[in-house]
Amino acid sequence: MRPVGISNDFLGEDGTNLWGDIGLGALDEAGIPWEYLPENVSVLRPSDIDGRPAVLFAAPAVDTSTFDGVQDPPLLLARFGVGYDAVDLDAATAAGVAVTITPDGARRPVATAALALILGGLLNLGIKHELVRRDRWGERAQWMGRGLTGSTVGIIGFGNTATDLSRLLAPFDVDILAYDPYCAPERAAEFDAALVDLEELAARSDVIVVMAALTPDTFHLVDEDFLDRMRPTALLVNVARGPIIDENALIAALSTRSIRAAALDVFENEPLDPGSPLRRLENVLLTPHSIGWTSEMSLGNGSSAVRAIIDATSGRAPQFVVNEAVLRSPRWASLPT
């Protein structure tokens, strides 16, 4: 059996882990050998996974080609992060491979990042930074910020990370609206959030935060119609996935000031095109899909993925399996407990 594989994108040019401590010491303590994969690839290859008990990966995608000709597929592909839109779950399930994510490791860092973008967007942090850098001090009175206290915050996708955000927002005495077809009203009520439909959330919110997973149902969920319903004083924040927002419609809304501002960590195409109008608009705060990247997230995500690997290699079903059907397959059902 080959060692557990760790995707090569974790490594910097000097050969050290760019993310710092991601909890790999727990594999050593459990007596599980591991190694970094030899090459940085955009899609995991059959040679990267064949014969390994598990692979911990971050940036690479997983598609049907990943499993082509694989004789001994891993039990587990453990994703370092919560998004799995670049993973072909059907292909993994057909190969008998479980896929896990790390919501327990990412929830507080992403919630904190969302709060940072809310405050940065309301306070016009991006343009105020430029006023100093570009000797435009005299324009500062033109960029009066808005307060968060007492406002209404609408959250699209009310999962664990969103509930963490609701806790962080509590000192600001905000009213929280949530849109999530899969969230029970009583669960939302636990966090002082009111479930509403998408149209009401758009119309009533001073701040809207996108925290949903990218699925066919959420693609362009925030479209021209949604943006038209938003208040002209409202801020739109996205810490989820870029394609949930129709970017062209957003650019139009920001250009005409039909909404006040946006704070975006993610985009429809990444990296953001050099010619994108978002780069020139002054009512946008931009970060490069890394606002939540902190030492807290590194250790949290890594430790969660490592726990999944230890469970899988010990014959236990790990937490946070996103293709749960695989656990009913003969391969998993036959594992010792």
**Catalytic site residues?**
241, 270, 289
CA distance 34 to 29: 12
Q: Where are the extended beta strands (E) located within 215-273? A: 235-238, 261-264
Residue with tokens 């993973």: 87
Write down the number of H helices and E strands in the chain.
12, 12
Give 316's Cβ-side CA count (13 Å radius).
9
Q: Where are the extended beta strands (E) located within the chain? A: 4-6, 34-36, 54-57, 76-79, 98-100, 152-156, 175-179, 193-195, 207-210, 235-238, 261-264, 284-286
185 preceded by a cis bond (ω within 30 of 0): no
How many other C-beta atoms are found inside a 10 Å radius of the C-beta of residue 104?
A: 16
How many other C-beta atoms are found inside a 10 Å radius of the C-beta of residue 120?
A: 21
**Amino acid of residue 242:** G
**Amino acid of residue 240:** A
CA distance 12 to 5: 17
Kindly write down the DSSP assignment for every residue of 20-78, as one continuous string. Answer: ---STHHHHHTT--EEE-SS--SB--HHHHTT-SEEEESS-BB-GGGGTT-SS--SEEE
In degrees and rounded to multiples of 5, residue 117 shows phi and psi of: -70, -35
